Copies of this chain bind each other. A is one copy, B any other.
Amino acid sequence: MSNPPQTPVVGMAGGGQLARMTQQAAIALGVPLRVLAGSADDSAAKVVADVQVGDDRALDDLMAFAKGCDVVTFDHEHVPDLHIREVEISGVPCRPGSAALAHAQDKLVMRDRLSAFGAPCPAYAPLPSADPVPALEAFGREHGWPVVLKATRGGYDGKGVWIADEPGVETAELVERLIGEGVDLMVEQHVQFRRELAALVARSPYGQGAAYPIVETVQNDGICVEVISPAPGLSGELAAEAQSLALRIADELGVAGLLAVELFETGAPEGGQGGGSGLVVNELAMRPHNSGHWTIEGARTSQFEQHLRAVLDLPLGSTEPTAPYTVMANVLGGDDPDVYSRYVHVMAHDPGVKVHMYGKESRPGRKIGHVTVLGDDLPDLRERARHAADYLRWGTAMKEHA
């Protein structure tokens, strides 16, 4: 295929929904997107002309893929960092680069680096693979129970995270089993939080930064089910602090592309007594993020376009919101995989709801799409988003499934 002169080809390793939605932005920018997908049935492979089917964790496949690209970026964190380094050595820039991405790939590396420049983190410690239980129990004695066990690498959507309520046989067995399976573990203080927030920023190689409004994320069983932008009732001071923190992290880590910082807002739960608010960093992601899907309609520049601009070292786009509030709800798979037949109700019921489906086979609990609504009446928006997401899942309102 011939492309207009000088237009760079962006390669994205991974064929999931993030690559799929990046394609929508690439189409507008006239930038050819190549995708390295595990199969021609992957979410993004179904909607991109230039697909290489291969294993993005295999060096040969990655190197062959990178050869046709002017810049390589990622749909997920699971491409081995040494392979990314090989691509960089071959002369194709990776954005984010291997040095930055290490902090999104390894939670212990991230904690060490963030703590070093004073970003707020919970207390944490690595667990030695030899004799881990005494170290864990010592951590619990110092910081209190429960504690959070995390696989340092490879987790997502609540996978790779375990809560240990108290010391004892059960906890010891869990730790021994995981270490026996070859999982590298760390332990973190269990943070008391009021709610979860996310800060989304972009940083270009040139050094330009741009911050989106801070959002509230609502999780269910470790899976994000709803995002509200901006986070309702968040003080301007704390919002600015969260944006500055995310921009600082992007800068310190030398991120090129998007950076999503998942945050805990500490303090007593809403309506409860006690202490002021504060922020603690939970996780990092260096790519378009579920907490930023609302930007497709809710911000002047979608996170997908912003990521492309950043990895291409183009000037970043406006992050201005397009409505007072935007609510995004994830669509999870239900029992009946025929989601399309449920469009009629959802669209007739609410002509303003924006439906985004990922072309993925529906399996119970799997993220297969999301819906977005915009406006100024937040309770109404939340109800509309929830109704649409529930109906696409169940074919009826969620309450009838309670």
Where the two chains meet, the residues of A that have a C-beta atom closer than 8 Å to any C-beta of B are 1-8, 20-21, 23-24, 26-30, 32, 40-41, 45-49, 51, 300-301, 309, 314-318, 320, 322-323, 337-341, 343-344, 347-348, 351-352, 354-362, 369, 374
Contact = CB atoms under 8 A, between A and B. Distances in A.
Contacts of A51: 49
Contact of A356 (B2, B28, B355): B28
Contacts of A309: 347
Contacts of A341: 6
Nearest to A24: B24
Contacts of A320: 352
Contacts of A358: 30
Given A1-B40, A6-B338, 16 more contacts: A1-B41, A2-B41, A2-B361, A4-B337, A4-B360, A7-B340, A26-B47, A28-B355, A29-B355, A30-B340, A30-B358, A32-B359, A45-B49, A46-B49, A48-B49, A300-B351
Nearest to A312: B343
Contacts of A340: 4-8, 30
A28 B357 contact: yes
A317 B347 contact: yes
Contact of A21 (B27, B355, B362): B27
Identical chains in the assembly: 2
Nearest to A48: B49
Contacts of A361: 2, 4
Nearest to A336: B5
Contact of A5 (B317, B338, B347, B369): B338
Contacts of A322: 322-323, 374
Contacts of A317: 347, 351-352
Contacts of A318: 351-352
A17 to B, nearest CB: 10
A351 to B, nearest CB: 4
Contacts of A369: 30
A171 to B, nearest CB: 41
Contact of A27 (B8, B24, B344, B360): B24
B4 A46 contact: no
Contacts of A362: 4
A332 to B, nearest CB: 14
Given A315-B344, A337-B4, A362-B4, A357 B47 contact: no
Given A318-B351, A362-B4, A23 B28 contact: no
A3 B42 CA distance: 10
